[in-house]
A and B are shown apart, each in its own frame.
Chain A
Amino acid sequence: MTTRPDTAARTTVAPGAFAPVLEMRGITKRFPGVVALDEVSFDCRQGEVHALVGENGAGKSTLMNVLGGAIRPDSGEIRLDGAHASFRHPLAARRAGIGVIHQELSLIPDRTVAQNVFLGREITRHGVLDGAAMRRATAQLIERLGLPTDIAADRLVRSLSVAQQQLVEIVKALSVAPRILVMDEPTAALAEPEAEALFRLIGQLRAQGLTIVYISHRLTEVLRLAQRITVLKDGRIVGTLAAAEADVGRIVRMMVGRDIAQMFPPRAKEGEIGPMVLRLAGVATPVLHGIDLTLRAGEIVGLAGLQGSGRHELLRVLCGRSRVTAGEVEINGHARPFRSPREAVLGGLGYLPDDRKQEGLLAGQSVRDNMLLTVRALASLFAGRESAARRRGISISDIARQVDVRVPHLGVKMGQLSGGNQQKALVARWLAVAPQILVFSEPTRGIDINAKSGIHHLMRTAARSGKAILMDSSELPELIGNSDRIVVMREHTVAGELPGGASEAAVMELATR
């Protein structure tokens, strides 16, 4: 992407239009266990593009959900043109002139473009749907916005590419003539020429007096388009910069600057790292490309990257849930990728998913049954419940003690354990089948501060016993503190590698760009 300033986007708005059209003051929102927004104040002037940046989990989406009426704040107020406004439902926000384009597409695939644009507010004539009028209005809007003409009003949304669908979302949002438009990662699915078309469009909209809140991780883009940039971190506003005074480095520093308050177990020393057990070279899938990754016994490798950078997809490849279309894969001596999770388990790779509730535990069953799940799965279909473990010489109570699960006895239902204990039980499940590689996805999500350290120590102990650990995490302190090496992903490929203990800024820089 070029950094040549786009003069169209920087056209100054008419003087006198500097009163804030939108003000959010002191917005606070708490969810169980976390403060998502803490006294956040944010304002927008008419006709400006105001960028909102921050790491994953900084609070950008929550703030925009409050603005868009999807969430009610615990305290604070919103003012539009100086007048107090409160929204009980996204519709109320829309009627007040706020349009939101979310990151996830909200279109109905089996309906046409025009039908989607007018969903919920269809035009009727004498009580009958006026399809022609809706198609005409949609086509006019598409033309007025200068969008490519192959997005015809009567094409099925399903037949459009993701980029085209994103443009339809924009048409839909603009068709109600909002005064403020929130765009959440609009260029995430766009190639460069399409993104350029979008920037021209934004310039046009600004000239027509529209105010735009632009959320994006692509800082060069942000610097190009925005007049002001507000940085959020851990639910608080760090500061607001004029784009003219900002540069990527300064923004990144504002985004991440924090001290690592947690203590982590010491990293692996040179002699403790063993032979290579996993190697991916030039691997590609329908989603990823150019993936190079190695794992050696005894080390913990952290996987970093923003949401949408492809981390999740890479993990799916490792545990046999995604198809590999190119490249070399060698795992534990297998010269080809795993074709199913069962193959992965048999091949010595264990996976702890990020969504414990959905993909990890059986909440209604006992801790013992949860721990023995994989052992039994690998045993014969006709084996008795206890014989599977006994035959392998595994004592589940020994392993439970090893991982330090705090339960009165192993018959307690899994769903009643704390997050930390659940995670430890899941680790025990894998230790029982002794895999060579352990893949953790968001290992300490939903676990309170005190228990987090326990999980980190468990991982380091497992590594020291000769296993290779891959840790995918959105929490930078954890990644930096607990990894021997950090692999950073960006836009569905591996952007680079850093040694453990690298600065947060270095990681973020590789991850954004």
Chain B
Amino acid sequence: MRYSLARLLRLLPAAYWILVVCFLVTWALCERFGQGDFLTLENFNNFIARSVALGIVAIGQTFALLVASVDLSVANLISVTVVTAPFLMQGDPALILPAMLGLLAIGVLVGLVNGLIITRLRVSPLIATLGVGLLLQGFINASFGHLPGKVAPGFQSLAYGSVGPFPAPLLLLVGVTVLAMAVLHLTRFGAHLYGVGGNAEVARLSGIHTGRVMIGAHMMSACAAVISGIFLVSRLGSAAPWVGTESAYDLQSIAVAVMGGTTLSGGRGAIGTTLACVLVFSLIDLLFNQMGIDSFLKQVLRGMIVIVAVASYAVRERRAVA
């Protein structure tokens, strides 16, 4: 039997090998130049937290990108979730579950509105979701301070607890990932998503209800944003209205998804590679923190990485991918 390096490399998508390389490079650089130890629990928890928040949103964004759409309302939706969660919970552990269901319902509604504006009013996804995002921002402005409430005591275990040896956030991320992959690869809806993204007209002529698929994709994206918001409020312990936009979850989720091979033109992309790129991003963040790199320089470097990564796709494919 012949084992060649090429066959070994093909076991995992390229993104994961890049992740491994990044990890090793980061470790090396941190040991050499870093301020403090690299393999600490604190670093690991920060890494996980960052990955979970961005990862879940990016997974949702992947659904939107797959149908050649985009969801720019996610950042503000996260903020809405964070502001509304304590209000719905009122510090009562018994209200945790109803509160989360209520928040998810908000997500479904926002997704529905986004989808309807795009399909019925024929507004471009960019403008539609941007507009809805601004609406949500208005809601936050109006309501923050007027929605008294508290995070229920047990709720923060979502961000800080663990099940056996596994941190709860990690399980959350894994759970969302598995669910998303199942929807994409095991359901008719997933097959139709790829169809509509690949060629909407062919999909329509094959009998697929393209409007419903588009709305469904946006519902997925919005719900993912809500879940990410739920995680963040659990971590923060209180309502912080700008957490969504501060970390630019909208644009970063797009960048990460495209880096992972999801094209802006639809029909091509996967959850696994998006996730790998989220982990790469988090690693890079960790690296920059450990090396004490100035936060402005951090942004510059991050931007360069995104451009280089996507350009390498475009050059290889010799066509516009994003």
Contact = CB atoms under 8 A, between A and B. Distances in A.
B203 interface: yes
B186 A129 contact: yes
A91 B207 contact: yes
Contact of B267 (A90, A110, A124, A127): A110
Q: Dominant SS at the A interface?
A: loop
B275 to A, nearest CB: 20
A121 B267 CA distance: 18
B185 A129 contact: yes
A159 interface: no
A122 B207 CA distance: 11
Interface string A88-123: 001100000000000000111111000100011110
A108 B207 contact: no
A335 interface: no
Contacts, number: 54
A128 B185 CA distance: 9
B207 A110 contact: no
Contacts of B205: 70, 90-91, 106
Interface string B90-114: 0000000000000000000000000
A468 B46 CA distance: 72
B40 interface: no
A109 B199 CA distance: 9
A120 B192 CA distance: 7
A279 B205 CA distance: 46
A109 B198 contact: yes
B172 interface: no
Contacts of A124: 188
Interface string A270-309: 0000000000000000000000000000000000000000
Size category, B interface:
10 to 19
Nearest to A120: B206
Interface in A48-106: 70, 90-91, 106
A122 B206 CA distance: 11
A111 B198 contact: yes
Contact of A110 (B192, B198, B203, B208): B198
Contacts of B199: 106-108
B191 interface: yes
B124 interface: no
B195 interface: yes
Contacts of A119: 191, 195, 202-203, 206, 208
B295 interface: no
A108 B186 contact: no
B187 interface: yes
A127 B207 CA distance: 19
B231 interface: no
Contacts of B198: 108-111
Nearest to B208: A120
Nearest to A129: B186
Contact of B188 (A90, A111, A122): A122
Interface of A: 70, 90-91, 106-111, 115, 119-122, 124, 127-129
15 contacts: A70-B205, A91-B207, A108-B199, A108-B202, A110-B194, A115-B191, A119-B202, A119-B206, A119-B208, A120-B207, A120-B208, A122-B188, A127-B187, A129-B186, A129-B190
